[in-house]
Amino acid sequence: MLLMRNKLLFACLFAVLISTFSFAQDINVNGRVTDEKGAGIAGATVLVKATKKATVTNDNGDFTISARNGAVITVSYVGYLSRDYTVNGATLNASLVSQSKDLNEVVVTALGIKKEKKALGYAISEIKGDELTQARSVNIANSLVGKVAGLNVTSTATGPGGASRITIRGNASFKGNQPLIVIDGIPFDNTNQGNTVGTWGGSDQGDGMSSLNPDEIESVSVLKGGTAAALYGSRGSNGVILVTTKGGSKSSKMPLIEVGSNFVIEDILNKKLNDYQYEYGTGDKGTGLVGIKPTSADPNLNQTNSWGAKLDGSSVIQYDGVSRPYSAAKNNFKKFYDIGTTFTNSFAVSGGSDKIAYRFSMSDLNSKGIVPNNTLVRDNVAININASLSKRFTVLVNGKYIREKNKNRPRVSDSPGSANYTLWTLPTSLDVETLKASKYNADGSEKVWSNNQYVQNPYFATEDYKEEDTRDRFIGVVEPRFNITDWLYVKGRAGFDKYNRHETDITPTGTGYQLGGGYNTSLRDFRESNLDLMLGFDKKLTNSFSVNAVVGGNRMKQITLLDGYSGGPFNIPFFYDISNVSTPNRGTQSNYYEKRINSAYGTADISYKNLIFLNLTGRNDWFSTLAKGHNSLFYPSAGLSFILSDAFQMPSYVNYAKLRGSWAKTGGDTDPYQLLLTYSLTGATQTVPLAQVGTNQVPNSLLQPYENTSSEIGLEARMFNNRLNLDFAVYKRKTVNDIVGASISPTSGYNQALFNVGEINNKGVELLLGYKVGNSKNFGWEPSFNFGYNKSNVVKIYQDLKQLFIEEPRPRVSAIYQVVNAPFAQILGNGFKRDAKTGEVVFNAQGLPLTEGLKSFGSGISPWTMGFTNTFKYKQFGLSFLVDAKFGGYIYSGTNALALRYGLSKATLPGRETGVVGKGVTETGTPNTVVVAAQTYYSNMYNFAEPFVYSSDFVKFRQLIIDYTVPAGVLGKSFVKAATISIVGRNLWTILKYTPIIDPESGYSNTNAQGQEFAGLPVTRTIGVNLNLKF
Amino acid sequence: MIRKIAIILITISALVSCTKDFDKINVNPNSSPQVPLNYLLSQSLLYIGGSAGDPGYATWRANLIYALPTTQMFSSLSTFYAGDKYLYQADLSEAYFVTQYPNSVKGLVDIINQAKADPKNVNIQSIARILKVLQMSLITDLYGDVPYSEAGLGYLNLNYSPKYDAQKDIYADMLKELTEAGTALSAPATNPGIADFVYGGDVAKWKKFANSLMLRLAMRMQKVDAAGAQSWAKKALDGGVMTSNAETFSIKYANDGGTSTINSNSYNLGEADVPGHRNEVSKGSIQWSKRLIDLMKARNDPRISTIAILKSGDATAAAQKGLPSGLDAGTLTALTGETGPDNYSRPNPIMYYAKNPYILLPYAEVEFLKAEAIERGWYTGSAATEYAAGQAAAITQLSVNQGAPSLTGSVAAYQAANLYPATTLADKLLQIHTEMWVLNASTLNGFEGWANWRRTGLPVLTPTNYPGNATGGTIMRRLIYPVSEAGLNVNYKLAVAAQGADLFTTRMWWDK
């Protein structure tokens, strides 16, 4: 409905645009922009406020722009105070005052308080909304990649509706490490929906960020240090991402209409598996060393293995009993995966008067994934009203409604129902189109194509399996503010975040591993309310001193309800409803979780002569989830900003320099109901009720809040006529008493225990360097480089525990651990036994390598992250590209392990006919000479992690944007105020990687279990077109 | 002005100060702080049978994939059935270990702890102690030295890394537990009644089971500690062991509440009446071994038509053909010309009905062990009589399976054809343990089948030597610990140092 309306509207407006070219009378205004000394300023922006038409001055400072008489023109240049002029005739000369003495860039800080950036004692990075709209990733978190120093965004190989992982300044917690997302002052639940993908596979159900509409976003502020986030208390301990959405403007009397249309196509990056071998086909080795072809349709012969004979094109029987040429099937990926498309239409109207400003927007996103039948529809509606009800009383009302509908989210990782797993492991001589043709048995059940019924026919998995989830979400805030005097105000804020999510999963009748089929439906009802009341004070006490202070309280209440039914098999085949499952075989769940946090907070900014700024904050949280006596925590913070360039005589090339420092303590709690042991009832049999200990996690009644201390020192500078822009920071974070559900030995009776553990340290540096190479009317070039290095170290875990298990991928020979005295998220796995003297691999009498147990292969998280952006401008054209890179991390590739196990990769070619002699020594130290059949040798490698751990370093040409702004002259007489068209490409080129077969960014999990990969969705590139019109 | 500010500040403090109801908020409304112990006992029994939780996960891996094939009862052409080829696959080898501790062991430890507070719970406490011995004996017989004394105490003692006890010590304590719990059982006290899926609360039967299990454990020590074995066997037999199939230890299932109310072997093997079954038999993954079928045929064993059937539906004894152990499809073709498993005997559906009881210690085993004890001079009586009683019980035991024919009429002929030898001890032991081997195969009791074979080496089995096997072509002596245990439990290394390398070939204490 919304989509249709949107499309209609868009079509109408477009028609109008084409047919109209006559309207009001503009004149050409000529002028010059000069500085205090009268010298022309090159590259200054001259903007006609009403029409948003803009131009840039040439090398002499001259410009020409068309505007009506009486129009307001804003002239601006970085480092200078912007100034407004009214057009009065054809000549307009402007002079700007350098603002190096008064750099008043304003940014949004915690609790939505706007502050001058120079007053901040901590690092904050802001990304403008248009960077996100142009970059166009379905999940906007992925558009943040490479943009902010110290921000590490990891996308998951799980499809368009999937989640992402964001961390700021490293990983400080054994538990969650993602920052708090705040939208217009309201904390926004960004947790994973439903189950995350783990050892046993599954599909990624997305998070909160994946629901946002980039068109609505005015700016994104990344609050990096503890001090920046301290006012959010426990929830800000991992930093905060503040999203500010667009509002109307009180000054624009005429409504501004914006229409955007965007079309993106998505295609897999590597259509051919160039690391796969296509010399040998389906089958096993025979009695000797050499592989043989299948001789019957027996699934034991027609299996997942590609250890068969040399491909010779001869006729060979396949799983469906049909004989086909025994030849290479090289294009299975290309044949199976679709080209994904995403079509977005958005519309917004905004405007205002003296009393009110408003903005209403809606958008519709319609996406088809690369996996057949995977679709996503997302509709966003937002309204934002800011009203001055009286001289002293203003109210801000802001509401958003989001509806998402996902169908058939792709399953990844382990096999059941995962088309991706099948594609990665399909024998080299089995054409995926054969699977398409021979999908069913006569009774409609799945024709199992191998000896492993857990590996589905991919067409059965994508056409017969049904998954559907819908989420309705409402976020609203009402924010009244009353100015008691001109320096004292009271402000309230009531915010709600509520969503309903309904998911239905159908395992169809006749699925290979579950012939009876199964049904699963679940309903999640989440609501969080935040009530804030603040008293604010803002006054200049003397000429030198001014104070800006706020005290307030917050009450947070969060309730989650989870209801569900599941069951199987179906009584009547192929009829999919829970009523079709007999009662004893139905499972039900109904769970209720509630938690509360009460908080009192205060902040005070004191400035002296606009030279030194001191920011103090304090917050106390009381948690319902922790035991009495342990449930209160106070977080103080302090930040100091010192404007060096004002305090001291600086060399003339330094336009601005600021030194900042800050210190903060934050912390947090845990989930509800973790303190006591309880029992759950699991059903009944033989008229006897059944019950068991309700948890696999040892509860702990003495839990305390964890504490996180952070500090930073930073330097900001502008030099060489404000051309060079530098921001440098050094920081330290330390977490103690972390609350962790840590894996423990199952022999304890539990798989996890919850305790206050350990200590993690993070240290790092961040650098942002920007330079304006040219900035004239017709040409501009601004390269910008950001870089972050974070060194994490797990100092202590629990008592004498040296390592902490997190999660393992399906082969279960490696896992991610936290290890004492090592960086966060270590990959530990089965390693080869090596000769003590020579380091050579030691082989047993059978000619197979011996194991030495768990070895550490490095961290799954890259400590080095960087991005290099270049923005060019030539006349009406703009071009920008982003190259980003991560270094220093590792990844265990389960897909590579599978490829070796099943004889798929090229690495399995040596010794196919003659057998393999492993390079190394025997237990007595003599060279290994035992000949082993290739299948035996290589598939045995699956028991080791060592051959499959790779460096996850990469350099990627991440993004390219070319845009064209229709010249004002062309639009001049129409009522279209601005028109921009842009072309966007993402993930265009992997410049450097070390992982065969897979992309280094192929992880399936956004948890702390980073550094593992297993049969994910192939990585894609996207190319899109944006059209934006303003009326 | 001051008043306004004061009002606002008071409102702010009202907003944050109300934390009184925090205790109430943090009470989980979905699970109970206390439940009747009977409920916990029932659930623990389902866990011991391997059906609760992920139905059949542990049973499939430990029993059907490793124990039965490695003892050459089952055969498979699939390398996934790693047992008859001695292949190591970590997740298969570790399954029983990682499943049973957090399920049955945890539950039983909790019952024992709760029950001790009230003397009227003496029976449920004693039953839980006996069951814990049974469960721990199954675990230690698969892996050797394992956490025992500190196991399952994650909550009660905050012990997250239980030490590994030496198997010798585990056996000593298990025997002590059986003595104490068996003695403590009291007929007049309350019993769990229908919550007891084994004996329906019959305390006398539990006493006999405790002694029968004591006999099994005693005889297991025969190789390594003959004197101990002798005295404990005598004690068990003096105390009174099972006397009929009605006293066999088996967990009863009703198939009335989802997959956890189904025999876990049936869940894995079967189809027919089992919802969500794994269907392993009809997929051709599992066949009876050539060794077993040949042996049963040679002995005119009447059980053969009950346990075996061809894909064609032919269950006649003469038509049955066992699949040689240690082959895959390719090597089978090379050896026999057969291209697949279809012409070999597979488990008969009688073996895997959902409601079949899950047998863990049949009466017949007691008779055979008693015969051996007598033969070794550890007890008085007629070994031949006990042997014959064991034969009869083993054959008629099968009738507990749904749809099984009564074989009572075939007992005499079978006994006549397989008389107890009057010759050497070795001959007698061979007969006794051949009967044990068939008994364990026909009751799908791979745990005991493998353990008893490792102690006695009877009947003699020819090892296979499949390429890539992890034993160098010798029959496996244990399962390998979970890979994760090395990372999770600091005591793992000590266990490996004490017992020997963590390999299939390392022999555990009673197997030296």
Q: pLDDT value at position B98?
A: 95
**Which is nearest to A930 in space by CA: A940, A916, A944, A943?**
A916
The stretches of A52-182 forming alpha helices (DSSP H) are: 129-135
Q: Which residues fall within 8 angstroms of residue B501, CB to CB, at 6 or more apart?
A: none
- Closest approach of B500 to chain A, Cα-based (Å): 14
Give A563→chain B minimum CA distance, Å: 12
User: Is the predicted pLDDT of residue A6 greater than 70, yes or no?
Assistant: no
At residue A3, the pLDDT reads 42
Q: Is the dihedral of CA B448, B449, B454, B459 positive or negative?
A: positive
Whether residue B459 is preceded by a cis peptide bond, meaning omega within 30 degrees of 0, is yes
DSSP A618-685: EEEEEETTS-TTS-EEEEEEEEEEEEHHHHS---TTEEEEEEEEEEEEEEE---SS-SS--EEEEEEE
Task: Quick: pLDDT tens for A168-197.
Answer: 888 888 877 888 888 888 888 887 776 667
Dihedrals phi, psi of A672, to nearest 5 degrees: -70, 160
Task: For chain A, give the mean pLDDT.
Answer: 87
Q: Contacts of residue A516 in chain B, CB cutoff 8 Å?
A: 275-277
Do B258 and A587 count as a contact with CB atoms less than 8 A apart? Answer: yes
Lowest mean pLDDT among A2-6, A593-597, A775-779, B368-372: A2-6
- Summarize the confidence of residues A843-859 as an average pLDDT: 90
Task: Identify from B8, B24, B61, B142 which residue to disrupt to test chain A contact, counting A C-beta atoms within 10 A and taking the largest count.
Answer: B8
Do A184 and A130 touch, CB atoms closer than 8 A? no
Paired strand residues for B279:
none
Residues in chain B within 8 Å Cβ distance of A485: 1
Residue A812 to residue B279, Cβ atoms within 8 A = no
Amino acid at A593: Y
Contact A411, A417 (CB under 8 A): yes
Inter-chain contact B484–A552, Cβ cutoff 8 Å?
A: no
In the block, residue with structure tokens 């699925």:
A511
pLDDT given at position A102: 38
The C-alpha atoms of residue B357 and residue B114 are separated, in whole angstroms, by 29
Helix, strand or coil, per DSSP, at residue B430: helix
Task: Collect all residues of chain A within an 8 Å Cβ-Cβ radius of residue B331.
Answer: 286-287
Helix axis angle, B226-239 relative to B363-375, nearest 10°? Answer: 130
Task: State the pLDDT at residue A195.
Answer: 64
Distance CA A248, CA A384 (A): 7
Q: Residue B510 pLDDT more than 80? A: yes
Q: Contact, A855 vs A862, CB < 8 A?
A: no
* pLDDT for A4: 45
**Is the predicted pLDDT of residue B127 greater than 80, yes or no?**
yes
- Nearest neighbour of A568 by CB, restricted to B89, B276, B485: B276
pLDDT at B491: 94
CA distance A871 to B151: 63
Dmax (CA) for chain A in angstroms is: 97
Cβ atoms of A318 and A296 closer than 8 Å: no
How far is the alpha carbon of A829 from chain B, nearest alpha carbon, in Å?
Answer: 9
Check CB contact under 8 Å for B39 and A551. Answer: no
Structure-token pair, residue A271 = 């259509």
Pairing status of strand A697-698 against strand A752-771: parallel
Q: Tell me whether residues B31 and A484 touch, CB distance under 8 A.
A: no
Contacts of A691 in chain B (CB under 8 A): 32, 35-36, 39-40, 43
CA A807 to chain CA centroid, Å, is 20
Q: Which residues pair with A607 in a beta bridge?
A: A546, A613
pLDDT score at A21: 38
User: How many interchain CB pairs under 8 A, A with B?
Assistant: 317
Q: Choose, out of A582, A588, A685, the residue to mutate when testing the contact with B (most B CBs < 10 Å).
A: A685
pLDDT digits (tens, 9 = 90+) for A890-920: 999 999 999 999 999 999 999 999 999 999 9
Residue A24 scores a pLDDT above 50: no
Nearest CB partner across the interface for B13, out of A553, A592, A753: A553
Name the residue facing A688 among B42, B467, B486 (closest C-beta).
Answer: B42
- Percent over 70 (pLDDT), chain A: 95
Q: From A755, which residue of chain B is nearest by alpha-carbon distance?
A: B158
* CA-closest candidate to residue A408, choices A372, A381, A432: A372
Q: Which two tokens stand for residue B456?
A: 């006695």
pLDDT class for B46, splitting at 50, 70, 90?
very high
Who wins on pLDDT, B141 or A353?
Answer: B141
Q: What are phi and psi of A43, to 5 degrees?
A: 80, 10
Are residues A691 and B89, on separate chains, in Cβ contact within 8 Å? Answer: no
CA B46 vs. chain centroid, Å, equals: 12
pLDDT (tens digit, 9 = 90+) per residue, A808-826? 888 888 999 999 999 999 9
Of A29-43, B62-76, B189-203, the least confident = A29-43
Query: What are residue A520's DSSP bridge partners?
Result: A505, A566
**Pairwise CB contact (< 8 Å): B15 & A555:** yes
Type and span of the H or E element at B212: helix B203-220
Q: Hey, are the CB atoms on A747 and B35 less than 8 Å from each other? A: no
Residues forming a β-bridge with A40: A34
- Tell me the pTM: 0.81
Tell whether the model's pLDDT for residue A204 goes beyond 90: no
pLDDT in tens, A521-554: 999 999 999 999 999 998 888 888 888 899 999 9
Between A849 and A47, where is the model more confident? A849
Of chain B, the percentage scoring pLDDT greater than 90 comes to: 81
What is the rounded CA–CA span in Å between residue A112 and residue A232? 11
pLDDT at A254: 78
Which has more confidence, A45 or A531?
Answer: A531
Comparing A65 with A101, which gets the higher pLDDT? A65
What digits encode the pLDDT tens for the residues A482-495? 999 988 999 999 99
Q: Could you say which DSSP state residue A511 is in?
A: B
Kindly give the residue spans of alpha helices, DSSP state H, lying in B59-190: 68-70, 90-93, 95-100, 106-115, 122-143, 167-184
Q: Which of A681, A686, A828 sits opposite B256 (nearest CB)?
A: A686
pLDDT tens digit string along B344-354?
999 999 999 99
> If you measure CA to CA, which chain A residue comes closest to B261?
A685
Residue B491, min C-alpha distance to chain A (Å): 10
pLDDT digits (tens, 9 = 90+) for A1020-1031: 899 999 898 888
What is the C-alpha to C-alpha distance for residues B512 and B416, in angstroms, rounded to an integer? 36
Closest approach of B494 to chain A, Cα-based (Å): 14
Chain A: closest CA distance from residue B315 (Å): 23
